[in-house]
Homo-oligomer: A and B are copies of this chain.
Amino acid sequence: MVPPSVERRSERARRAILDAALELCQDQSFAGLTMEGIAKRAGVGKQTIYRWWPSKAAILLEALQERGGATLIFPDTGDIVADLRTQMTQVVRAFNDPMFAAYSRGLISAAQSDPEIAAAVVESIIRPRVDLCVDRLAKAQQAGDIHPDANLPDVVELLYAPLYYRLLLHTRPTTEAQVDAVLTMVFQGLRP
């Protein structure tokens, strides 16, 4: 995050640390993750970790960015509701993957007491995906499928917030049925 001199850095150590963090997080959840554990698993000195990352969340964040880069696409078939369903269903699947859920919960949990983590999570994970969704909604709005007064970032929130709600509040599991329910309510409105 704030390195002393980027050139001499050992790529081997960097890779080992990122991999160890991901593996340990799977095994023991984010709360059980420790700097000491990562160092041991990666065969790396603790100082090497502290030199390049300020916290365990920062490590995980970087690890996830590397792995999750591929998912940054948003379908466009012309049917906005169908495309949203496709995309939201992917999110539901990710939230139901124990590993991904552990990462997400851990990072958001850490963000509650560390503003830097919070900012990094938003910047590198949330914002890019929201922007993509906003772009797709803008097309639909221009096509006349969405009310012209609608504030699109607010729409994105309205659609995805219920998924995060269940993930973080542990009320019910997220399901595809939830996606359908949200889409129906949001596009039809609640009035009879």
Q: List residues of chain A with CB under 8 Å of any chain B CB.
A: 29-32, 105-106, 108-115, 118-119, 121-122, 126, 144-148, 150-151, 154-155, 157-158, 160-162, 164-166, 168-171, 178, 181-182, 185-192
Contact = CB atoms under 8 A, between A and B. Distances in A.
Given A109-B109, A113-B109, A151-B181, A189 B188 contact: yes
Contacts of A115: 170
Contacts of A121: 169-170
A20 B30 CA distance: 28
30 contacts: A30-B113, A31-B114, A32-B113, A105-B112, A106-B112, A108-B109, A108-B112, A109-B109, A109-B110, A109-B112, A109-B113, A111-B170, A126-B171, A146-B192, A147-B188, A150-B185, A150-B190, A151-B181, A154-B162, A154-B178, A154-B181, A154-B182, A157-B162, A157-B166, A157-B171, A158-B158, A158-B185, A161-B162, A164-B164, A189-B189
